[in-house]
């Protein structure tokens, strides 16, 4: 990269001996030895592995990377070891294996049976300046020979009045291994001896013991956990058995009948009557005197009464089929001979229910299933269905009777529904895993699926299938679009998919056109354009003024991708034809990197990674985007039209194609044109667009690797004894003098991180600075000094250093919110924008002074946007600063839960943090603006020498939401969604080059 003498002089002042050239002395580098541009380091291995247990106390932690790490960068504050509780562990990091390994040796042996987390800083770099750019965390547990220790339980020994359905939680001092639970070692029994059924489970450090059925009232119980019944994740079993006794609450409430089945007529002679109660009943009281089935003449039918596992339901199973076409009654007695609950309370009143049998005693049978048994390449969007040969009881269609299970891996979440009267459908909450085996089981038996007469399924229905091994799922849009009116009568109907489809699945069963009264329209179907488009041409011309419905069928039996994946559901478009032909051609416009019309010509780009975009519009709004053809002509080989369309993202009016590395254009001059037809076949052609491809190794790219910017929140440039960032927060009432609630430190950090998060968001990074994708700008911001890594610096905080530093509330702002060196093409990756003469950096204090002054002049007649947020906080505006309000100790504390707070607490929480959020948003945008200058925005003039900047080095003709606008106001900063303008972003993403 070409360097000026000035730049080299400035660079020489910085960070001698740091890793990476950082662009400051790039003249000595041999490009042939460089890694890929802005490529990042990769972790190859780590020891111990993440999640390891029984790690030795004298272990050295080792992370292996694909570059030779510079030792000095291991001093970065982001590289450290801590306990899971957050206690830092001192130690030494060094490089080994020729720099490819980072070794961290704790200063003292680690504590046994302790969870640790090792952090390797994202600022870890190699000798060429490549960054890790993402934090690496390795969690592990040290040698652990100590059994888990019981800390507490949800009951106290001897507790009285315990609920009869309450589960008991037993808390241990460490995480338990769920797979090591020995259920037989956990018991709940009456003190007098009888054992109660329980469900025991482990979650985290908790053993949950849930009674299967209601406990007996006023009864003494004992929980017993045997030694070895549970174990920690290191495999150490519980060493000492534990038990606890309690007494349940007194229960004098009689049970009630909730529901009965069957009712009505035409009941199967094989039906087994069921009664559901509002609490568990005592099975020992289910004698024939308490509950019986009698026929029409009052004779008792021989039955066996069986209670469900939770004892809330009782089923009467006749010893022989009932008589057809006969009346039956279920009788429940009251009083001394009645069914009782678990505590001995009898039914209060006798009850009788009747039903009449019919003649249907045939079990339902499977008619067909979707998918079919043992099907493969089943769409991940499948909604499995089974169809029975007769109507089924919808009350029995539940996730207990219809079970979808994965052969391995996580179980899918789903619901089930009845479709029509005889079909059951499973609705997974999200597409199934690719290339995975699943089993759909419809349960038989008395608790399984049954028909409406009550005949249970004779045998389980089991359908095994395997999903498509394809991560992607298709989508489609239809033309004419849904709801369109006055469609020209010479139009065709087109479906455009986002990926190729299997032509064999396109036929009149999967693509349908019907008229307004449901009549099928005959026509011809063709699959075109890289097998991404389906075109329907009617055999007979469309009827003018008529409505048609164009449908592409989804699901297993619809249009499929070659992998087998499908649309989630049918997609339809209903439209009406007009009475005229369309003879007007559509308009097409082609651009690179989303550049606007004024900035699109003569752009200079690298051979790949830039985006070609076609925008089309049509007078009749009937574009046929399946016909877009992009023609690239020029000095080297170019991708053909089919290739472009096959890889493009197509929407109803745009086509976007990012040139992949595999199809990179050779250096040279090129021209683009695009054509697009409407549904009537009229063709529109774009104006040609010239561009140049250049090799990226001639210094034309702004970033040679991910650049690091140290944002100096720690400066005290007004020399008042307090850092300028804190001066800002005191002025704003975002922290309080004297720190009465001990919250100032948190607010300082919160605002600092928020400002960085906003700036990072504009750079395509998450709030920690990690890149969100390939289009992230190679610029990472940090709030602490990077060690051993060349970096740029910018001040953030306080007043404009060029103006009076003693100004206070009510006095004038200098009007300058920030100032930074303009660095053409980012020639120097070590810019220093922290000086006071000239005053450089970001000056939030000036924004405050300006807004405060406006407020003082219009209040109370008007409340500005700033005042609405800060009136409650700024001391000079009569507010109570964060940390000085009686509620602040609560609402500003970490872990404050807004959802459980009082309304007063919530109001104060919102008052403080909505203001803080606005402020961080505004300052973060200004910070991004100044950083933009520091990396070459906005070079004056047109491409390829400039970036359409104006004489002031801001965007000419900027919009209201442009980060690089020459001027901004608070209202816009906090109200509008800011972003870098097309060309600015393309430059930052290195999708265009400058000469």
Give the nearest distance from C-beta 947 to other proteins in angstroms. Answer: 13
Segment contacting other proteins by CB under 8 A, of 424-432, 509-517, 789-797, 834-842: 834-842
The smaller minimum CB distance to other proteins, of residues 163 and 815, is found at: 815
Task: State both tokens at 116.
Answer: 């640790």
Contact 338, 332 (CB under 8 A): yes
Segment contacting other proteins by CB under 8 A, of 240-248, 616-624, 764-772, 776-784: 764-772
Segment contacting other proteins by CB under 8 A, of 233-241, 357-365, 374-382, 896-904: 896-904
916 binds other proteins (CB under 8 A): yes
Number of residues that make up the chain? 995
742 binds other proteins (CB under 8 A): no
754 binds other proteins (CB under 8 A): yes
From the list 124, 241, 325, 236, the residue with the least C-alpha distance to 788 is 124
* Rounded Cα gap, residues 934 and 54, in angstroms: 50
Give the nearest distance from C-beta 64 to other proteins in angstroms. Answer: 26
* Rounded Cα gap, residues 230 and 180, in angstroms: 6
Give the nearest distance from C-beta 754 to other proteins in angstroms. Answer: 4
SS3 662: helix
Region 305-364 residues binding other proteins, contact defined as CB under 8 A: none
606 binds other proteins (CB under 8 A): no
The smaller minimum CB distance to other proteins, of residues 709 and 916, is found at: 916
Among 255, 454, 480, 827, binds other proteins (CB under 8 A): 827
Place of tokens 């170019």: 638
Contact 71, 158 (CB under 8 A): no
* Rounded Cα gap, residues 733 and 880, in angstroms: 7
Region 937-956 residues binding other proteins, contact defined as CB under 8 A: 940, 951-954
* Rounded Cα gap, residues 605 and 665, in angstroms: 10
Segment contacting other proteins by CB under 8 A, of 98-106, 550-558, 720-728, 749-757: 749-757
837 binds other proteins (CB under 8 A): yes
Give the nearest distance from C-beta 841 to other proteins in angstroms. Answer: 11
926 binds other proteins (CB under 8 A): yes
983 binds other proteins (CB under 8 A): no
Question: What is the Cα 638 distance to its own chain's centre?
Answer: 37
With b meaning 16 or more CB within 10 Å and e meaning fewer, what string describes 380-415?
A: bbbbbbbbbebebbeebbeeebbbbeeeeeeebebe
Among 665, 847, 871, 872, binds other proteins (CB under 8 A): 847
* Rounded Cα gap, residues 65 and 102, in angstroms: 8
Task: State both tokens at 378.
Answer: 């089943």
Among 101, 921, 984, 990, binds other proteins (CB under 8 A): 921
Task: Give the CA count within 13 Å in the CB-facing half-sphere of 737.
Answer: 4
826 binds other proteins (CB under 8 A): no
* Rounded Cα gap, residues 152 and 172, in angstroms: 7
The smaller minimum CB distance to other proteins, of residues 639 and 754, is found at: 754
709 binds other proteins (CB under 8 A): no
* Rounded Cα gap, residues 713 and 784, in angstroms: 9
The smaller minimum CB distance to other proteins, of residues 147 and 754, is found at: 754
Give the nearest distance from C-beta 927 to other proteins in angstroms. Answer: 10
* Rounded Cα gap, residues 792 and 831, in angstroms: 5
904 binds other proteins (CB under 8 A): no
Segment contacting other proteins by CB under 8 A, of 397-405, 543-551, 598-606, 967-975: 967-975
Among 123, 757, 872, 882, binds other proteins (CB under 8 A): 757
Contact 419, 508 (CB under 8 A): no
* Rounded Cα gap, residues 311 and 196, in angstroms: 12
911 binds other proteins (CB under 8 A): no
845 binds other proteins (CB under 8 A): no
Contact 734, 741 (CB under 8 A): no
The smaller minimum CB distance to other proteins, of residues 457 and 755, is found at: 755
Among 167, 334, 544, 816, binds other proteins (CB under 8 A): 816
796 binds other proteins (CB under 8 A): no
From the list 107, 51, 79, the residue with the least C-alpha distance to 787 is 79
395 binds other proteins (CB under 8 A): no
894 binds other proteins (CB under 8 A): yes
User: In what helix (H) or strand (E) does residue 711 lie, and over which residues does it extend?
Assistant: strand 707-712
- Per DSSP (E only), the strands in 582-667 are 587-592, 603-605, 611-617, 623-634, 649-650, 654-658
Among 646, 896, 941, 942, binds other proteins (CB under 8 A): 896
- Give the number of other CB atoms < 10 A from CB of residue 634: 18
Among 99, 835, 875, 941, binds other proteins (CB under 8 A): 835
Region 3-62 residues binding other proteins, contact defined as CB under 8 A: 4-7, 9-10
- SS3 string, 430-498, reads CCCCCCCEEEEEECCCCCCCEECCCCECCCCEEEEEEECCCCCCCCEEEECCCCCCCECCCCCEEEEEC
What are the φ and ψ backbone dihedral angles of 13, each rounded to 5 degrees?
-75, -15
User: In what helix (H) or strand (E) does residue 150 lie, and over which residues does it extend?
Assistant: strand 150-153
Among 753, 775, 785, 942, binds other proteins (CB under 8 A): 753
* Rounded Cα gap, residues 608 and 657, in angstroms: 11
From the list 822, 712, 816, 702, the residue with the least C-alpha distance to 763 is 702
The smaller minimum CB distance to other proteins, of residues 16 and 772, is found at: 772
The smaller minimum CB distance to other proteins, of residues 242 and 822, is found at: 822
| Cβ-based burial of 943 (10 A; exposed 0-12, middle 13-18, buried ≥19) | buried
242 binds other proteins (CB under 8 A): no
Handedness of CA 400, 404, 409, 412 (dihedral sign): negative
416 binds other proteins (CB under 8 A): no
Among 703, 913, 980, 987, binds other proteins (CB under 8 A): 913
The smaller minimum CB distance to other proteins, of residues 301 and 993, is found at: 993
Size of the site for other proteins (CB under 8 A): 84
906 binds other proteins (CB under 8 A): yes
Contact 337, 290 (CB under 8 A): yes
Among 377, 929, 981, 991, binds other proteins (CB under 8 A): 929
Segment contacting other proteins by CB under 8 A, of 105-113, 299-307, 426-434, 845-853: 845-853
The smaller minimum CB distance to other proteins, of residues 224 and 917, is found at: 917
User: In what helix (H) or strand (E) does residue 646 lie, and over which residues does it extend?
Assistant: helix 641-647
The smaller minimum CB distance to other proteins, of residues 659 and 867, is found at: 867
Among 864, 880, 989, 990, binds other proteins (CB under 8 A): 864
Region 768-787 residues binding other proteins, contact defined as CB under 8 A: 768
84 binds other proteins (CB under 8 A): no
How many degrees, rounded to 5, is the angle at CA 93 between CA 92 and CA 94?
A: 120
803 binds other proteins (CB under 8 A): yes
Region 565-604 residues binding other proteins, contact defined as CB under 8 A: none
975 binds other proteins (CB under 8 A): yes
Segment contacting other proteins by CB under 8 A, of 200-208, 380-388, 542-550, 813-821: 813-821
The smaller minimum CB distance to other proteins, of residues 556 and 953, is found at: 953
For the beta sheet containing 547-552, the strands, ordered from the edge strand earlier in sequence to the opposite edge, are: 511-515, 547-552, 571-576
The smaller minimum CB distance to other proteins, of residues 414 and 913, is found at: 913
Among 822, 890, 941, 945, binds other proteins (CB under 8 A): 822
* Rounded Cα gap, residues 884 and 893, in angstroms: 13
* Rounded Cα gap, residues 252 and 144, in angstroms: 50
Among 521, 750, 882, 887, binds other proteins (CB under 8 A): 750
* Rounded Cα gap, residues 560 and 531, in angstroms: 11
């Amino acid at each position: 990269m070409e360097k000026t003498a000035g730049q080299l002089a400035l660079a020489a002042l910085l960070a001698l001996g740091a890793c990476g050239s950082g662009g400051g002395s790039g003249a000595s580098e041999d490009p042939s030895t460089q890694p890929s541009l802005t490529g990042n380091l990769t972790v190859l291995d780590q020891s111990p592995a993440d999640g390891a247990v029984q790690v030795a106390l004298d272990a050295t932690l080792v992370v292996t990377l694909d570059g030779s790490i510079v030792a000095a960068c291991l001093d970065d504050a982001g590289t450290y070891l801590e306990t899971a509780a957050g206690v830092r562990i001192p130690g030494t990091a060094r490089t080994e294996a020729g720099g490819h390994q980072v070794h961290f040796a704790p200063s003292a042996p680690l504590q046994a049976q302790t969870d640790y987390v090792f952090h390797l800083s994202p600022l870890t770099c190699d000798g060429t300046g490549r960054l890790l750019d993402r934090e690496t965390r390795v969690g592990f547990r040290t040698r652990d020979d100590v059994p888990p220790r019981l800390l507490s339980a949800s009951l106290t020994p001897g507790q009285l009045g315990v609920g009869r359905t309450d589960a008991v939680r037993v808390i241990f001092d460490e995480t338990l291994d769920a797979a090591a639970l020995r259920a037989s070692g956990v018991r709940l029994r009456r003190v007098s001896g009888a054992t109660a059924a329980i469900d025991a489970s482990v979650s985290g450090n908790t053993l949950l013991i849930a009674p299967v059925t209601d406990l007996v009232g006023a009864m003494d119980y004992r929980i017993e956990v045997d030694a070895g019944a549970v174990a920690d994740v290191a495999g150490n079993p519980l060493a000492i058995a534990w038990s606890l006794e309690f007494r349940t609450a007194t229960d004098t409430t009689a049970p009630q009948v909730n529901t009965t089945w069957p009712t009505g007529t035409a009941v199967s002679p094989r039906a087994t009557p069921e009664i559901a109660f509002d609490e568990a009943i005592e099975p020992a009281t289910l004698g024939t005197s308490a509950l019986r089935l009698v026929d029409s003449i009052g004779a008792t039918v021989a039955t066996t009464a069986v209670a469900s596992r939770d004892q809330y339901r009782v089923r009467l199973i006749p010893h022989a089929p009932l008589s057809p076409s006969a009346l039956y009654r279920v009788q429940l007695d009251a009083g001394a001979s009645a069914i009782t609950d678990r505590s001995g309370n009898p039914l209060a009143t006798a009850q009788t229910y009747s039903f009449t049998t019919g003649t249907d005693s045939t079990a339902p049978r499977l008619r067909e299933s979707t998918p079919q048994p043992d099907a493969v390449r089943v769409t991940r969007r499948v909604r499995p269905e089974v169809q029975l040969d007769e109507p089924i009881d919808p009350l029995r269609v539940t996730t207990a009777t219809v079970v979808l299970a994965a052969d391995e891996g996580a179980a899918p979440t789903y619901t089930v529904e009845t479709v029509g009267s005889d079909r059951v459908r499973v609705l997974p909450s999200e597409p199934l895993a690719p290339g995975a085996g699943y089993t759909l089981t419809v349960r038989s038996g008395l608790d399984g699926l049954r028909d409406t007469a009550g005949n249970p399924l004779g045998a389980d229905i089991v359908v095994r299938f395997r999903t498509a091994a394809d991560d992607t799922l298709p989508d489609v849009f239809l033309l004419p679009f849904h709801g369109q009116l006055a469609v020209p009568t010479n139009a065709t109907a087109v479906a455009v998919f986002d990926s190729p489809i299997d032509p064999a699945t396109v036929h009149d069963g999967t693509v349908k056109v019907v008229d307004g009264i449901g009549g099928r329209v005959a026509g011809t179907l063709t699959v075109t354009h890289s097998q991404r488009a389906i075109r329907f041409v009617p055999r007979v011309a469309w009827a003018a003024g008529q409505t048609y419905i164009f449908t592409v069928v989804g699901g297993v039996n619809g249009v499929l991708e070659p992998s087998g994946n499908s649309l989630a559901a049918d997609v339809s478009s209903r439209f009406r034809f007009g009475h005229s032909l369309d003879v007007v051609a559509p308009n097409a416009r082609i651009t690179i990197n989303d550049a606007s019309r004024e900035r699109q010509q003569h752009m200079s780009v690298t051979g790949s990674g830039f985006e070609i975009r076609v925008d089309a519009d049509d007078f009749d709004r009937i574009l046929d985007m399946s016909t877009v053809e992009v023609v690239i002509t020029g000095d080297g080989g170019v991708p053909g039209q089919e290739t472009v369309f096959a890889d493009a993202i197509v929407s109803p009016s745009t086509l976007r194609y990012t040139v992949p590395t595999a199809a990179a254009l050779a250096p040279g001059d090129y021209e683009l044109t695009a054509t697009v037809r409407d549904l009537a076949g009229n063709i529109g052609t774009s104006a040609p667009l010239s561009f140049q491809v250049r090799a990226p190794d001639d210094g034309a790219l702004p970033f040679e690797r991910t650049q690091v910017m140290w944002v100096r929140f720690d400066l005290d440039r007004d020399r008042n004894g307090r850092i300028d960032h804190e001066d800002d927060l005191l002025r704003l009432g975002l922290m309080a003098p004297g720190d009465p609630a001990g919250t100032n430190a948190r607010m300082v950090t919160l605002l600092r991180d928020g400002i960085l998060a906003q700036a990072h968001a504009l750079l395509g990074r998450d709030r920690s600075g990690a890149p969100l994708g390939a289009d992230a700008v190679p610029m990472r911001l940090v709030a602490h000094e990077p060690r051993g890594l060349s970096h740029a610096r910018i001040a953030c905080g306080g007043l404009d250093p060029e103006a009076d530093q003693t100004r206070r509330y009510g006095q004038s702002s200098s009007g300058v919110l920030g100032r930074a060196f303009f660095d053409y093409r980012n020639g120097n990756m070590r810019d220093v924008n922290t000086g006071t003469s000239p005053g450089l950096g970001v000056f939030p204090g000036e924004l405050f002074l300006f807004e405060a002054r406006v407020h003082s002049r219009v209040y109370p007649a008007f409340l500005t946007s700033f005042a609405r947020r800060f009136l409650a906080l700024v001391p000079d505006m009569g507010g109570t600063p964060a940390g000085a309000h009686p509620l602040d100790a609560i609402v500003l504390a970490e872990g404050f839960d807004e959802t459980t707070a009082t309304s007063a607490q919530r109001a104060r929480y919102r008052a403080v943090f909505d203001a803080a959020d606005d402020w961080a948003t505004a300052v973060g945008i200004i910070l991004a603006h100044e950083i933009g200058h520091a990396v070459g925005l906005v070079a004056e003039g047109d491409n390829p020498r400039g970036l359409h900047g104006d004489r002031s080095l801001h965007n000419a003709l900027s919009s209201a939401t442009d980060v690089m606008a020459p001027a901004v106001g608070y209202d816009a900063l906090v109200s509008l969604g800011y972003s870098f303008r097309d060309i600015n972003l393309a430059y930052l993403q290195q999708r265009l080059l400058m000469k």
